[in-house]
A and B are shown apart, each in its own frame.
Chain A
Amino acid sequence: MIAMLTVPFSALAAAPEPPPGASSCSGCHATRRADTAVPPLVGRPASDIIAQMQAFKSGQKPATVMGRIAKGFTDAEIQDIANWYAQQK
């Protein structure tokens, strides 16, 4: 009965959920210090991330894997992911 009086668990108090696709990025783009040539996304301006992703998507910017990955995302999804990473610390 004591348990019944406690506050029910709610997702409202949880950290905001990343938009679709965003959580996969940190497999390569480090969210903590790592020895890699791949640039971090955390804290980068959203406009910068969007510009890079669009350039990868169109093929304008030469790439290894990012061209192939960017083609799997809509403009709206890219925008959401960019806004999310821009806000992360």
Chain B
Amino acid sequence: MRANGSTRREFLASASATALSALVAAPALAQATPRVAVVGGGFAGATAARALKKADPRIAVTLLTQDRTFTACPFSNLVIGGLRNLNQQQFGYDNVAADGIEVTFATATQVDPQRRSIGLGSGSALAYDRLVVAPGIDLDWGGLPGYTQAAAEKMPHAWKAGEQTLLLRRQLEAMEDGGSVVMSAPANPFRCPPGPYERASLIANYLKTSKPRSKLILLDAKDTFSKQRLFQNAWKELYPDHLEWVPLSQGGKVTSVDPSEMTLTTDFAKHKAAVANVIPPQKAARIAEVAGVADNTGWCPVDPVTFESKRVPNIHVLGDAIIAGGMPKSAFAANAQAKVCAAAIVKLLAGEPPSQPKLINTCYSIVGPNYGITVAGVYVPINGVLTDVQGAGGVSPVDAPRSVRAQEALFAEGWFNTITGEVFG
């Protein structure tokens, strides 16, 4: 009894819970089978669930996710550009369940951090010792005047892969040669920093090959962006007549859109579009707000060693939803964070101190067929922030020959196959 009691106190010390929640949660913590619930079945959530089960099969892991099929965002710009099919982006959870993970297709609607319980849309509840929230993003409806959910049916965002991806693709296919494609990119932070520029490249590639009298205008709320020189050099070389980037300082910030007129308005001009792709401002998905782990920026501050929320104990947050210091909102980062978080949770459940982690990110962008570019980084927690290791990381060489671009395009595809294999295979 005594030994067990001290173990319990260690749990509580690490949990920094209130006296009330300690009383409620204590019986669960004395069990030899800790329960971890994971909300979100994307790159972060599914990785965390599998890594936890692999690290210690005694942990009862439940993965809560809304859809039976996951549609991956990385490489979905190739679908929009007509170089890939959407079904190559889609994955199920059979192999995740086969690891011994309880996969539940439901919507988490409530989180009670005091009772350590999640409310499901079905009305049932799920108790946890530790919770992992990996919900991805929500589009910030209301963040761009005129851009509503109804507007997105005419002016797709395609920033969550699936039907929206196909809608944008169909619109591009149906557009007459000579029509103008207008894209809008948001201010930082948002999911996949190089994503708008990869997409603009691949749409320009489609226009160049199939609608040569058409042109894409990319209206940007920023003056600088990820892999900027690499993209701009490639655009000059590959798409001089089919892609025009309008930065913030030249009136690129879209201030409102009108889906009935198919117009995007900036401080300087009104752009009429045959096809409009509006990438609106974003925030951590709703469950993060419900759980209390999002702050007033809309994103979630976390401890960079354990990925535990800085706002709510026993809840860890991963992936695009978090404020991750130098780490971008990428699938690679989400997967890397999830593995570190899982290792930390195993330690915390045992009342042991977590190890200081080191993380890597690599983001591939495809600019055209056989033309890939990358940004990479290595990160460590310094003063509570994931910080770039000096002297490491950076982008592909600006002066690299085309053979290197081809090699990076090949490795990009290998990366997609490997990471989706680790997460869903």
Contact = CB atoms under 8 A, between A and B. Distances in A.
Contact of A8 (B4, B335, B355): B4
- Mostly helix, strand, loop or mixed at chain A's interface? loop
Nearest to B336: A24
Residue among A27, A30, A35 with the most chain B CB within 10 A?
A27
B410 to A, nearest CB: 6
A9 B350 contact: yes
A3 B30 contact: yes
Contacts of A6: 30-32
Contacts of A5: 4
Interface in A12-49: 12-15, 17-18, 20-21, 23-38
Nearest to A57: B392
Given A6-B30, A8-B4, A9-B32, A38 B414 contact: yes
B418 interface: yes
A5 to B, nearest CB: 8
A71 interface: yes
Interface string B340-353: 10010011011010
Chain A: number of interface residues, binned into ranges:
35 or more
A3 B357 CA distance: 33
Given A10-B350, A27-B360, A15 B54 contact: yes
Contacts of A68: 376, 392-394
Interface string A65-77: 1001111110001
Closest 7 interchain pairs by CB? A72-B378, A36-B414, A72-B392, A11-B350, A23-B339, A24-B360, A21-B358
Given A28-B418, A30-B418, A36-B411, 9 more contacts: A6-B31, A9-B34, A14-B350, A15-B55, A27-B336, A28-B414, A32-B422, A32-B425, A70-B392
Interface of B: 1, 3-4, 7, 27, 30-34, 51, 54-56, 58, 332, 335-336, 339-340, 343, 346-347, 349-350, 352, 355-362, 374, 376-378, 380, 389, 391-394, 396, 404, 407-408, 410-411, 413-415, 417-419, 421-422, 425
